[in-house]
Structure 1
Amino acid sequence: MKCLKTLIAAATMSLLMTISALAGQWQQDTTGWWYQNENGTYPTGWTWIDDNHDGTEKCYYFNENGYCLMNTVTPDGCTVDASGAWTVNGAVQTRSSAQQETAVTQSAEQTSNQASVSGTPGAYDLKTVWLSATGSKYHTINHCGKMNPAKAVQVSLEEAIKQGMEPCDKCFN
């Protein structure tokens, strides 16, 4: 009986070790970083990853080739830091691994452009931006830099991009 219990315990431990060994992992080549899933595939778009297995996930944006965008603004207007993690007002956004399938609302200060933040960066809803009377950048606030708030014009992000505008370095750091 004692041998059977030991055998079951050993089998259970082996199974648990195999599961952790199959977890995805970060990879790098001369082009950049990507995350390889346990099944050999790689994510594109926004993906929550608990890369150090501490129960807390960070969200990363991967381009169409699977490479993680880092220290930039993503195509949908979100900011990612030097490690590629999604940030809002400089703070890395996280969630508990237990919330994996649940939409999580993050508390964040609303700016005058009515941006809202939810648990998935793809849902970062930057609907409107501000344009100055002159210039080629769009802003999240109507008084960025030397912009005159009285002359600032609020337009949709889509319209600003159609006009060839680029994100302001201060607003989208």
Structure 2
Amino acid sequence: MYRPSSYRPTPWDVLELEYCPRYLWLSKRHGVPVTPSMRAGKSAEPELRRRLAAALGGEPRPVYIDAGWAHGVVDLLVVRKSAVPVEIKTGAPRPEHKWQLYAEAYLVKAAGYAVTRGVLAYGERLRSLQVTPAELKAAERLLAKAAEVVEGPPPPPRRSPKCAYCQYRAICTYT
């Protein structure tokens, strides 16, 4: 298992890494500016969590998990025969979200629970994902990679369509 020298990665770091490695690095150096959509999502999340917890049979509270070298918060954890991490999103679905969920599943597994699926909740629309040992291993690698990016030099900039609406476009230079 990877053990970074000082930085302990989180599932949120995996989300940012998958979005753009340079975005992750810049966010750790400059902070993440709160946008109006982020503020709206945070204010809607408690009510969504309460309704999802009632529908899925979980406790309506986020769960902090410390796995030693990595840590983070799972928006909602439903525990029956196995544990099901639920990641609540208020925006549009993005491919990076599944990797954040897999990183949360990795933490849940490291906490001693059996994990075979996870749920991405876009509002009240649920997307269930199977969690296999391969996804858990990939999540572990992504958590390790996130720590390497944060601790290392800035990743080279790369132009992509995401740059048009990136919060760091003013300080991120292209090659």
TM-score norm. by structure 1 comes to 0.25
Q: Indicate the structure (1 or 2) with the bigger Cα radius of gyration.
A: 1
TM-score norm. by structure 2 comes to 0.25
Task: Give the structure, 1 or 2, with the largest relative contact order (CA under 8 Å, sep 6 or more).
Answer: 2
